Amino acid sequence: MPARITKKVLFWLGLSLPMVALLGMTWLVHQSGGQFNNSFNFVMKTYKVLDMLEQTQSYIVDAEANQRGYFLTGREEYLEPHQRAVQAARDKLAELKRLASDDLAQLDNLAALEKMVDEELVFDPKAIFAAGQFTTNASVVALTARGKEKLDHLRHILFQAHEEQQQALSKHQQEAEQDVVAKQIMSLMLIIAVAMALVMVVVILLRLEKLQEFVTVCAWTGQVKFQGQWLRLDEYLKRQFGISVSHSLSQEAADKMMREIEELNRASTPPAPGQPPKP
């Protein structure tokens, strides 16, 4: 019974493991495809954000330069490039906020940039001093120092934004690498499971092949010929299939044995006085 149960377990494992492995590999392929698409989209989004940060910095620097030119000269030809650069910077910041909607740290950096643009670069030309008012060297130095201060503040915020984006990209790459390693381990386990299933199937096929072999049985003694030897049936089953055999008596053999015992008892019992001897 234990041997038969073991064979049944091996048989069903041999059938089920390949199916489970096939489903697992299908799931892994699906997950790997989704992970690849997500990683590709994230990398593209990251580089797009970095490129837009560079463009935003360029627009802000251009707006500050034209603002300073107007403050120094009062010439209106600086106003149109200044307003165009400010509007372009605002548009880029709005698009950056949309792309970084799930990154709170990056949203803080973008909010700081927006505040800088609104407070430092936006001005009303009608409320500014008359043209040519700042003509002294001290005025030039003051505006230049103020412009440098603005640009330093700008670079600090953009540096933080770049660092946040680079750290997010690095973190995503690490997670992707860990996910790839985990999937490789799972794939290896599935391959091992398939190999074990194939071994079980081969074992079962070998068993079936043995069962299909012709067996020579002695017509007189009932012994079985196995590898050049004549063996009792129970010995043959044990060597060939690992089956242990128990012994008992059939009803026919038991009846025959009882009749023989009775006949022997009658033959050995002496006749009673006055009775003829038994034949």
Q: What H or E segment, with its residue span, contains residue 132? A: none
- Select from 207, 232, 257 the last residue of a domain: 207
Q: Which of 1-10, 13-22, 72-81, 187-196 has the lowest mean pLDDT?
A: 1-10
| pLDDT, averaged across the chain | 76
User: Could you tell me which residue, 160 or 208, shows the higher pLDDT?
Assistant: 160
Residue 167 lies in a domain: yes
Q: Quick check: pTM over 0.75?
A: no
Give the pLDDT score at 275: 56
Rounded Cα distance, 85 and 62, in Å: 6
In sequence order, the β-bridge partners of residue 231 are: 224
Based on the domain organization, do 250 and 170 belong to the same domain?
no
Based on the domain organization, do 200 and 218 belong to the same domain?
no
- pLDDT tens digits for range 39-76: 778 788 888 888 888 888 888 889 888 888 887 777 88
Confidence of residue 87 (pLDDT cuts 50, 70, 90): very high
Q: What's the residue count for the chain?
A: 279
- Select from 207, 238, 255 the last residue of a domain: 207
Based on the domain organization, do 189 and 260 belong to the same domain?
no
Give the pLDDT score at 1: 46
Name residues whose C-beta falls within 8 Å of residue 133's C-beta, 6 or more positions apart in sequence.
74, 139
Based on the domain organization, do 235 and 203 belong to the same domain?
no
The answer to whether the CB of 59 falls within 8 A of the CB of 85 is yes
- Select from 207, 224, 257 the last residue of a domain: 207
Based on the domain organization, do 163 and 235 belong to the same domain?
no
Q: What percent of the chain lies above the pLDDT cut of 70?
A: 72
Based on the domain organization, do 229 and 201 belong to the same domain?
no
Based on the domain organization, do 153 and 265 belong to the same domain?
no
- pLDDT tens digits for range 215-263: 788 888 878 887 788 888 888 777 776 777 777 778 887 788 888 887 7
Q: What percent of the chain lies above the pLDDT cut of 90?
A: 4
Based on the domain organization, do 64 and 172 belong to the same domain?
yes
Q: Is the dihedral of CA 32, 35, 40, 43 positive or negative?
A: negative
Local structure of 150: helix, strand or coil:
helix
Q: Give me 177's structure tokens.
A: 């690498």
Residue 133's domain spans which residues?
Answer: 2-207
Other CB atoms within 10 A of residue 178 CB: 10
**Where does the chain show beta strands of DSSP type E?**
216-217, 224-226, 229-231
Give the pLDDT score at 84: 92
Based on the domain organization, do 184 and 243 belong to the same domain?
no
Based on the domain organization, do 44 and 115 belong to the same domain?
yes
